[in-house]
Structure 1
Amino acid sequence: MTSSSRPTVLLTGASGVLGTALLTELPSSCDVVALIHECGCPGAAQQVRGDLTAPRLGLNRAAYADLARRVDVVVHCAAVTDFTKGPGATHALNEAGTRAVAEFTADAGAVLHHVSTAFVARNELTRSRLGRETGEAGARPEDYLDSKRAGEQVVRDSGVPAVIVRPSIVIGDSRTGEISAFQGLHGILLMLLRGLMPLVPLPAASLIDFVPQDVVARSVAALIADGRRAGEVWVTAGPEALRAQQMLDLVSDTCAELGLSTLMPRIVGADMVDRLIRPVFLAGGLPKRALRRFDDMLAMTALFADAPVFPTSLGQLAGEQQPLTSSQLTAALRQTLLHLARAKNLGNAPEPTVARPMAAGVSA
């Protein structure tokens, strides 16, 4: 580990959603080294090619030792987030890969900032755990959540100084909506924009907790700057999260802004879907691909139906850091919808106007 006042940060997952956002937030105060796998990372000045599933991070002994001597902080963002990958591939990176990162952190005498997910608190709300039929769904949130809980346990058992960071759903940049790769929520939003969701199996008051990627990145950067070495940090909207009906209203307003004549879905209870709508009206009348898409949506929305409010750690750092408000979240989601519309050539989406970054801070 170096003794410089300017820390060297090893960033995994640098080409992913949070990694790309972190690359814009960290360089002003840190020297960042991106651990890359197959593809390069244009935003990283320093890159090391490695593999989290291989011994010594896929490096030879000399390269591994040299990297360990340089690194003060490890930010571990790399993860399988695709709910359809299955338990084997998911655990290989999210659990075993985290073990390799923790071992490197110990060898470097560094501090680990492990990016997990707030949804570890909702592991029992998957349809399979609730005893509901999963149908044709390829999405299995339980595999992802099991792997992230296991990854957190690896960090706790490792004995290295570590901060576990738990963001909720990560959407695009709060100012532009831009994101390096569309996520699960983007798929649902796209179906809504295209009028392909006739119903939403959620109580209207269900909280849909999301945070913009730049807010998460600045929160991690603030933790590093603060010298945080332990604790669990929840980067969530908490009680300010938008409700399902508010999100549908925003989608409707955005469709009007885009000049799209899109019918909004009907909100129904999951029990009605399971007892009547799916077996009677959908199972025999939808192509298999469409039915699988519907069942994937059921799998994902189960995590929100009448779920408790997430804890939140936002708003406690010094300076101008403030908790997120529902109006800020509404504005950020609008930008995500507009960016999605631009990317998919839907309607007449205006170009983004970059404003002041959305402020958010954290406490342990």
Structure 2
Amino acid sequence: MTNRRDFIKNAGVLAGSGLIASSFVSCNAKQEKNLRSTSKMKLSFKPYNLQLKHTFTIASSSRTTTPVMLVEIEYDGFVGYGEAAMPPYLGESHDTAAKFLSQIKLEQFTSPFLLEEILTYVDGVDVGNYAAKASIDIALHDLVGKIVGQPIHKIWGLDASKTPNTSFTIGIDQPDVVKEKVEEASPYKILKVKLGKDNDKEMIRTIRSVTDKPLCVDVNQGWTDKKEALDMIHWLKDQGVVFVEQPMSKEKEKMDEIAWLSENSPLPIIADEALQTIHDVMPLKGVYSGINVKLMKCGGLLAAKKMMTIARALDMKVMIGCMTATSCAISAASQLSPLVDWADLDGNLLISNDVFEGMKVIDGKVTLSELPGIGVRKL
């Protein structure tokens, strides 16, 4: 019988091999040889603070800004862009990201196409720091795509027509502000509603007073009693909600309660805070209906794609999510969107000071471009 470690390893090899092989097939062999012999990768980074259009409130906190680290990797005249988006609950900051990135020595590698080798090295430099690691992963993928002149989704062989609609997030707020947010979200076909305080039904009723669009809800661990949670989910189903994200605590001692809730729920229960890296996926089988994969939590595109492969093998639903971020991180995550059931890729739409132009939402749908790499232009 295949053990857990072997399963993860094999799934990882399966998920990663398509990118590596396709990248090298697309790259002219003579060009690759010249690049190896004449160029070195140069990593640079700078801190930036995102300004949110509205105060962003979830069950446990509120904020008006998000710190990010903007990353560039230069190589043979090409520049790959990356980003670490670091909301406070991740435990990362400008200081921790700068300390981690300062330790990275990419010049030791002969080519950016050595993605598995480079990212294994990056992961081993220090524990944690997954958003910082994701910024390097994103920049490397962007760099590789620019060198071969293709977007990452094409290098992976993904069908851009199969992208889902993205939800637009409505944070917890007073009824008049909630209505304003819903109006701002008029181009979007599904809304993601933050719940978990004492006004959950008021939030839903307020939204339902102005729109009948499908909803999904994110409770951010805000509910504490499984039977009350189940009653609430039945009510939410009647209100046109399609799934529930992280209804109760992520802690291991609550897993039996979550499993009971998932078994009895009329709606899919999706893991968010309970999931971070590839090693967390398999233990969630039978506990949650699906997983929400976020680049900033798992370390980037390569890890996220592996996690999706494992989840599908376990017959679990897959969602791609995000933090509040610039169009750099959002466009990177969108390259994976043809693989998922649901997308929540609105982080760039919630800020007022984006420094990139990238993935567009057209008629509510994630729409991938033909731009190489992750598909962004720097403003």
Identify the TM-score tier after normalising by the shorter chain. under 0.3
Q: TM-score, normalised by structure 2?
A: 0.26
Structure (1/2) with the larger strand percentage: 2
